[in-house]
Amino acid sequence: MAAVPDLPLAAAPTAPLSPAPPACEEPVPAGDLDEVTEAVLGHVARISAFPVDRLRADQPLIDELGFDSLMLTDLFTSLKRQWPRWRFDESAADRPTAGRIAALIATGSADAADAAVPVQRDGHDGAAHAEDAHGDGAPPQAPAAPAAAPLPEEHTRIECFPEVAAHGERIATFDRTGLRNPYFLVHEGGMTDTTVIDGRELLSFSGYNYLGMATHPQVNEAAKRAIDACGTSASASRLLSGSRPLHLELEAELADLLGCEAAVTLANGHATNVTVIGHLVGPGDLVIHDSLAHDSILQGCKLSGATRRPFPHNDAAALDAVLGQVRHQYRRVLVVIEGVYSMDGDIADLPALIEVKHRHGALLMIDEAHSIGTIGATGRGVGEHFGIDRPAVDLWSGTLSKALASCGGYVAGRREVVEYLRYTVPGFVYSAGMTPADTAASLTALRLLRAEPQRVARLAENAALFVRLARAAGVDIGDSHDTPVVPCIVGDSLKTLRLAEALFQRGISVNPILYPAVPEEMARLRFFITADHTPEQIRDAVAALEQELGRLAAADAGDPADAGEAPDPADAPDPADAARAA
């Protein structure tokens, strides 16, 4: 695969690097190789959760020990702290092993010697030397302090941080490729099966208004009434003066929907996972999460101070094996998964994961951001999908911004646990409550979900139609099944950008997901299917996708006839006409 520019989504994590020593210095060995290897293995054990006596110096950290980019960053940062003069070589991150890294440090090939520690002299010896030097017993004059070298701007100005400069370079990539920046496009109204950008209506697969509730007249009217009754803000923490009757109604009905004893809502979905995970576990604990877990889960792990370890995606047997080796080392072990995975559209193997959880005395938390309202016969999520006894899962979390039509998050479980969180979890206690409008919108959407289960059925039919047509067209949709999240895996960030632009010109809005948000070979478009899409719209979209993928393939093969110009946007089907035709 040809190399592609580093295209923007999020900066790839990198270990902070100390300034390199002057080039004229000769590399100084850091010490005995065996001692350095032992120290490196100690860091690997701490980060990976494997006992150090089960590690080998030749084990690939990524392939065998499950290291991801954040774990490698943690490792290299720790090594830099122990050996400050180690000049990090990016080749160390290419299929690294503890032995290879230790060799780079120990041999001095990366100038990795420990920083010199000043020798403390005995005070009497110092005085004697001074008397000998001056001959009159007078204390020596302190040498003048050398003039401090000016600090580099990358340490004192945010705009000069290397990562800020690198981000600017990634954004500039769009100008060099001649492609439109696909991010921060302004959508000029509500987003359902269609959207409006720059005054032009497009068929939309770029928003997760799965059930059409975010634009439903009853939901909108409820939000307006809440503003009239309670204003635009809760104006305080819920713990103090920020609670409103709407909050209590929403929490009671969420708990009932989820089959739990109680629930609490927070003002932001991402922050819900961050603050709950960060609050419940800490040093001495282990958080082990699916390798495709959402950023909010990773940030919660980082905040907690617990050891973090991913397990292979949706692989209960691999999770079982890891816990069999390491469970005894930790006080608490929290397993965190998603109900529906937001990039791949597959469903967690919840029954098998619950068995593993019980076998090892672990806790289980499920993020239902993309599964509540979308799977299960009546939209009650992955628990309903599998017929799970709800207390078998310790924490059910999710967001209110997708099927439930507003903005916020929730966590549900046993009453004692939820009450503890209401009084102690920082993201709830030290934040204003959900706005009255958001609360009323989600409450009304939840009630519509119960009153109109046909919305869930229609969503399932639309998703199944898209998947069936895409597979028949030879589109690589990965493992997506039975969910409204369907990727089109292209495997090249630049091609993915070109595909998104070609579809945009044909009147279809769909988001590109690029490296480093996903590995380069997994760069993709991500289609969100909704209950409001019509079968005709779905057929038109898949047909256009098949044609544009064919043009990309022809361009790669050097066939100018098949890789001709994309159709004029004026010739694209009118989304409104497609809806009427269906």
Give the CATH number of the domain where residue 3 resides: 1.10.1200
For residue 512, give the H/E element and its range. strand 511-513
| Domain C-terminal end among 412, 433, 451 | 451
Q: How far, CA to CA in Å, does 5 sit from each of 68, 166, 206, 235, 497?
A: 21, 12, 24, 45, 11
Return the pLDDT at 450. Answer: 96
- Same domain? For 348 and 222 the reply is yes
User: Is 416 within the bounds of a domain?
Assistant: yes
Return the pLDDT at 127. Answer: 41
User: Is 30 within the bounds of a domain?
Assistant: yes
Q: Does residue 95 contact residue 67 with C-beta atoms inside 8 Å?
A: no
C-alpha span between 421 and 262 (Å, rounded):
11
Return the pLDDT at 559. Answer: 65
Return the pLDDT at 360. Answer: 98
Q: What phi and psi values does residue 3 have, to the nearest 5 degrees?
A: -65, 145
Instruction: Give first-to-last CA distance, the chain, whole Å.
Output: 41
- Same domain? For 354 and 278 the reply is yes
The predicted-structure confidence for 463-504, as pLDDT tens digits, reads as follows 999 999 999 999 999 999 999 999 999 999 999 999 999 999
- Same domain? For 291 and 253 the reply is yes
- Same domain? For 343 and 466 the reply is no
Q: What phi and psi values does residue 72 have, to the nearest 5 degrees?
A: -65, -40
In the numeric block, the tokens 């490792």 are attached to 75
User: Is 147 within the bounds of a domain?
Assistant: no
Which ranges of the chain have pLDDT less than 50? Answer: 1-28, 110-135, 566-582
Closest CA to 86 of 39, 138, 19, 37: 19
Closest CA to 462 of 385, 532, 544: 532
Q: Give residue 56's domain range.
A: 1-15+25-115+159-178
Q: For residue 501, give the CATH number of its domain.
A: 3.90.1150.10
Catalytic residue positions? Answer: 342, 370, 402
CA 353 to chain centre: 21
User: Is 331 within the bounds of a domain?
Assistant: yes
User: Is 146 within the bounds of a domain?
Assistant: no
User: Quick one: DSSP state of residue 569?
Assistant: G
In the numeric block, the tokens 């959508």 are attached to 187
C-alpha span between 168 and 409 (Å, rounded):
32
The predicted-structure confidence for 511-552, as pLDDT tens digits, reads as follows 999 988 888 999 999 999 999 999 999 999 999 999 999 999
- Same domain? For 252 and 384 the reply is yes
DSSP code per residue over 292-340: T--HHHHHHHHHHT-EEEEESTT-HHHHHHHHHHHGGG-S-EEEEEESB
- Same domain? For 437 and 461 the reply is no
Sign of the Cα torsion 130, 131, 134, 140 reads positive
C-alpha span between 358 and 74 (Å, rounded):
30
Burial 191-205 (b: 16+ CB within 10 A, else e): bbbbbbbeeebbbbb
Q: How far, CA to CA in Å, does 348 sit from each of 292, 336, 353?
A: 11, 11, 8
Return the pLDDT at 85. Answer: 72
C-alpha span between 438 and 350 (Å, rounded):
30
User: Quick one: DSSP state of residue 152?
Assistant: P
- Same domain? For 444 and 410 the reply is yes
User: Is 524 within the bounds of a domain?
Assistant: yes
Packing angle between helix 33-48 and helix 69-82, nearest 10 degrees? 140
- Same domain? For 60 and 204 the reply is no
- Same domain? For 445 and 459 the reply is no
- Same domain? For 421 and 523 the reply is no
**What's the token pair of residue 178?**
């001649």
- Same domain? For 409 and 305 the reply is yes
- Do the strands 485-489 and 508-509 form a parallel or antiparallel pair, or are they unpaired? unpaired
As beta bridge partners, residue 81 has none
**What's the token pair of residue 228?**
């009239």
Q: Does residue 397 contact residue 410 with C-beta atoms inside 8 Å?
A: yes
Return the pLDDT at 311. Answer: 96
Query: 300 Cβ partners below 8 Å, 6+ apart?
Result: 273, 274, 275, 276, 277, 278, 287, 336
Sign of the Cα torsion 416, 256, 278, 287 reads positive
| Domain C-terminal end among 408, 424, 451 | 451
C-alpha span between 406 and 514 (Å, rounded):
27
**What's the token pair of residue 272?**
């819900």
Q: For residue 295, give the CATH number of its domain.
A: 3.40.640.10
User: Is 125 within the bounds of a domain?
Assistant: no
User: Quick one: DSSP state of residue 520?
Assistant: G
C-alpha span between 371 and 210 (Å, rounded):
10
| Domain C-terminal end among 451, 472, 496 | 451
- Same domain? For 542 and 554 the reply is yes
Planar angle of CA 114, 115, 117, nearest 5 degrees? 115
User: Is 110 within the bounds of a domain?
Assistant: yes
**What's the token pair of residue 79?**
């090594």
C-alpha span between 462 and 431 (Å, rounded):
38
Greatest Cα pair distance in the chain: 107
Domain count across the chain: 3
**What's the token pair of residue 171?**
């954004």
Closest CA to 363 of 281, 274, 273: 281
Amino acid at 415: R
For residue 579, give the H/E element and its range. helix 575-581
Q: Does residue 469 contact residue 463 with C-beta atoms inside 8 Å?
A: no
Burial 215-235 (b: 16+ CB within 10 A, else e): ebeebbebbeebeeebeeebe
